[in-house]
Amino acid sequence: MTLLHTNRPGRPSLVPVTDDQTVAAVDLLIADTLSRLRADWAALSAAVIPRPDVLHTDSVLELLSGLLATGGKRFRPRMVHWGWLAATGGDHPESYHHIPRIGAALELLHAFALIHDDVMDGSETRRGFPSVHVQARQQHVRWGSFGGPQRYGENIAILAGDLAHSEASMLAAELPAHLRTLWRTLSVELMIGQGRDLVGAANGRRDLDHARQVARAKSGAYTVWRPLQLGAAAGGASPELLEALETYGIAVGEAFALRDDILGVIGDERATGKPVGDDLIAGKPTVLLALATQRFSPKWQRVLARTGSGELSADEVEALRQELINSGVIDEVESMITAAVHQASVALDSPAVHPAAAEGLVSLAHRVAWRSA
């Protein structure tokens, strides 16, 4: 693999120029962060020695570590990498040292979001394993503990998510001021998107505009555009480049969210690691449900109206999944994904995008849009 040389004092002499190499650097930083966290945790909790065969506080750290060990696609660090390369072409390797830190902070923030999202959605699995709150619930049952196991599991998961958020913030705190400002924007947008998701479901929203706003704020900006912006800003991006990357990022972010919608109702559970149909049961304000509201016959509208009520049977969920295919809703969303990827590719024609990054960004857009998990 090609490496860039830099003679900057106190910095690595070689700078990776592939996103896989950046992901490897991110993984090393996450491992180092967890190692330091374990040492601090042990020192701070040394006064209390856990008794055998009972619940113990160390499970908060163990559960977070377990989730991080399951890996993930690392899309956010990859976006940071390509944003940096789009700005620099690799010609300014001295700025690269911020990139793994941004990527690691994003992955820890993502762990926080996943843990809390699973609690909010009541999701039993994540990446093919029991969700963090489910594992904590199982521990409670295993040791015959007092109180309700479900509430206990959710509470422990909230703490594990909070711990991930704290460590993400610590990493981001060492970034330059302009990058910390962007980090705060990304974090606030994530909360807004999650809030819109919850409020939209509670209000029974089924309109397409709202569904697309949720997708862009909850998944698109936080997964694609803001990581790209952080990487590009670390590399000293021009306003013209940031404008091109924003167009690309919003389009690819929408493709990411739409693919999530599809995988959530007709995906392969063995690939996604999550049960399909949860979005229908919860009545989430997705683009799929918005289009179904426009397309479904009166018969299916009556069934659709009960999503989010907690009254749908397993057979009705399966029937709704099939009707999303039969009615053409899935095909329409697939067309929206294709259009979004095309829009993203056109944005990369800007002369502000360094040629060293254009091909990689096109490839990543395809990978995001047509993934199976």
Q: How many CA atoms lie within 13 A of 172 on its CB side?
A: 25
The residue among 274 and 366 whose pLDDT is bigger is 366
pLDDT of 9 = 39
C-alpha closest to that of 131 among 108, 160, 164, 103: 160
Query: Residue 95 carries which DSSP code?
Result: G
Helix, strand, or coil (residue 122):
coil
pLDDT of 246 = 96
The residue among 206 and 171 whose pLDDT is bigger is 171
C-alpha closest to that of 169 among 101, 83, 74, 68: 101
Give the mean pLDDT of 235-251. Answer: 97
Going from the C-alpha of 142 to that of each of 64, 138, 153, the distances in angstroms are 19, 6, 12
| Least reliable range by pLDDT among 106-115, 180-189, 232-241, 304-313 | 304-313
What is the full DSSP assignment across 162-186? Answer: HHHHHHHHHHHTTS-HHHHHHHHHH
pLDDT band at 105 (very low <50, low <70, confident <90, very high): very high
pLDDT band at 8 (very low <50, low <70, confident <90, very high): very low
Query: According to CATH, what is the number of the domain 18-369?
Result: 1.10.600.10
Q: At what angle do helices 149-172 and 19-44 cross, to 10 degrees?
A: 120
Reply yes or no on whether the pLDDT at 286 is more than 60.
yes
Answer yes or no: are the C-beta atoms of 232 and 86 closer than 8 Å. Answer: yes
Tokens of 319: 């029937």
CA distance 110 to 26: 13
Q: Which residues fall within 8 angstroms of residue 269, CB to CB, at 6 or more apart? A: 275, 276
Any idea where the domains of the chain sit in the sequence?
18-369
Output the average pLDDT for the chain: 91
Q: Are strands 14-16 and 129-130 parallel, antiparallel or unpaired?
A: unpaired
Q: Which residues fall within 8 angstroms of residue 206, CB to CB, at 6 or more apart? A: 285, 289, 290, 293
| Least reliable range by pLDDT among 159-173, 209-223, 351-365 | 209-223
pLDDT of 15 = 59
CB count within 10 Å of CB 185 equals: 14
Reply yes or no on whether the pLDDT at 34 is more than 70.
yes
Q: How many residues does the chain have?
A: 373
pLDDT of 231 = 98
Reply yes or no on whether the pLDDT at 66 is more than 50.
yes
Residue type, 212: R
Reply yes or no on whether the pLDDT at 6 is more than 70.
no
Answer yes or no: are the C-beta atoms of 350 and 310 closer than 8 Å. Answer: no
CA distance 8 to 10: 6
pLDDT of 80 = 98
Residues of the chain above pLDDT 90, percent: 73
Tokens of 17: 């120029």
Residues of the chain above pLDDT 70, percent: 95
DSSP H or E stretch at residue 275: none
CB count within 10 Å of CB 11 equals: 13
Q: 267-289 b/e with 16+ CB inside 10 Å = b?
A: beeeebebebbbbbbbbbbbbbb
CA distance 292 to 8: 57
